[in-house]
């Protein structure tokens, strides 16, 4: 084709933008509403999956700890020789530990991260609005409102206050078990109470801290990146070869 030329034409749709939340950057304000919805939706979905796994994992760990403590108390009571001086302190101490162990699974279920139930609410919202097409800015505002709440919750769940509660709770357990040692006149019984106080308190502190440290925090980082507009929306490029009007040749069109 004489005089043919290959032209690259990029077609970019006009961005549908929405107001930015408090703390949002100009970069976020320039983002297309569809991209903002997609990012928030993906964050809710991923955090909901992790929150659900975290909840049931720690429920299982808590129930295992509870069952272990009850089992040891029953075992010492049913099978240990009544003349064994270690029998009574282990029955008492494991019963006390079992009482404290109830807190773990209870907290995992009752205080489960809100993002787990917010994600289905977002799915329903997008379904009701044609995937956010109807009133996209209102949809974004609602998603941002829920996300801010979940971020605040995540920050609280891993904050210093939770560590203080953990230390106080484990300290109470240690105090009760060690108090049993101080009130005993039998040195063997007293030593068994002390051993149980140290071992159970150490395990309790490790488990409690791990529960706090593994608590979902992904929404915090995702929200900060969102506010700063530091994300690359996924674009799909479509390539096509079309004839050039008024000239002999073809043009390569890239639409994204």
Residue 10 forms part of a structural domain: no
Within a 10 A sphere around the Cβ of 166, how many other Cβ atoms? 17
pLDDT of the residue at 128: 93
pLDDT-flagged residues of the chain (< 70): 1-15, 231-256
* 3 state DSSP class of 164: helix
pLDDT value, residue 207:
94
The residue among 213, 44, 211 whose CA lies nearest residue 117 is 44
Residue 148 burial class via C-beta count within 10 angstroms: exposed 0-12, middle 13-18, buried 19 and up: middle
Residue 15 lies in a domain: no
Residue appearing with tokens 């395990």 = 203
Residues in the chain: 256
Q: Cβ distance 251 to 11 under 8 Å?
A: no
Q: Is residue 256 part of a domain?
A: no
Can you say whether residue 47 is alpha, beta or left, with left for phi > 0 and alpha for psi between -120 and 50 degrees? alpha
The tens digit of pLDDT for each residue in 44-94 reads 999 999 999 999 999 999 999 999 999 999 999 999 998 999 999 999 999
| pTM of the complete model | 0.79
For residue 85, give its domain range.
22-239
User: Quick check: is 223 in a domain?
Assistant: yes
Q: What is the pLDDT of residue 47?
A: 93
On whether the CB atoms of residues 13 and 256 are closer than 8 A, the answer is: no
17 belongs to a structural domain: no
Asked if the structure places residue 253 within a domain, the reply is no
Q: What are phi and psi of 238, to 5 degrees?
A: -115, 125
pLDDT at res. 33 = 92
The verdict on residue 247 lying in a domain is: no
- Confirm whether 97 is domain-assigned: yes
Beta sheet of 238-243, edge-to-edge order: 7-11, 250-255, 238-243
Q: In total, how many domains does the chain have?
A: 1
174-183's contacts with Cβ under 8 Å and 24+ in sequence apart are: 174/198, 174/200, 174/201, 176/96, 177/93, 177/96, 177/97, 177/201, 180/89, 180/92, 180/93
**What local confidence, expressed as pLDDT, does residue 104 receive?**
87
Longest dimension (CA), the chain: 109
The answer to whether 105 touches 73, Cβ cutoff 8 Å, is no
């Amino acid at each position: 084709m004489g005089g043919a030329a290959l032209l690259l034409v990029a077609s970019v749709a006009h961005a549908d933008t929405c107001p930015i939340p408090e703390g949002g950057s100009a970069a976020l304000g320039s983002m297309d509403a569809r991209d903002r919805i997609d990012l928030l939706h993906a964050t809710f979905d991923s955090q909901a999956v992790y929150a659900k796994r975290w909840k049931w994992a720690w429920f299982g760990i808590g129930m295992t700890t509870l069952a272990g403590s009850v089992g040891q108390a029953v075992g010492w009571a049913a099978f240990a020789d009544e003349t064994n001086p270690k029998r009574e302190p282990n029955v008492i101490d494991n019963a006390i530990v079992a009482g404290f162990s109830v807190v773990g699974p209870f907290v995992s279920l009752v205080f489960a991260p809100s993002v787990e139930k917010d994600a289905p609410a977002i799915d329903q919202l997008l379904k009701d609005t044609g995937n956010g097409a109807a009133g996209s800015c209102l949809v974004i505002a609602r998603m941002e409102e829920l996300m801010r709440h979940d971020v605040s919750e995540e920050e609280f769940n891993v904050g210093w206050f939770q560590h203080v509660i953990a230390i106080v709770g484990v300290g109470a357990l240690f105090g009760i078990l060690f108090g049993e040692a101080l009130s005993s006149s039998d040195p063997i019984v007293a030593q068994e109470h002390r051993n149980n106080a140290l071992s159970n308190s150490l395990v309790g502190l490790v488990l409690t801290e791990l529960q706090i440290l593994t608590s979902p925090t992904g929404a915090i980082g995702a929200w900060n990146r969102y506010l700063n507009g530091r994300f690359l929306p996924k674009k799909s490029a479509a390539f096509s070869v079309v004839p050039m009007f008024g000239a002999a040749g073809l043009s390569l069109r890239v639409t994204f």
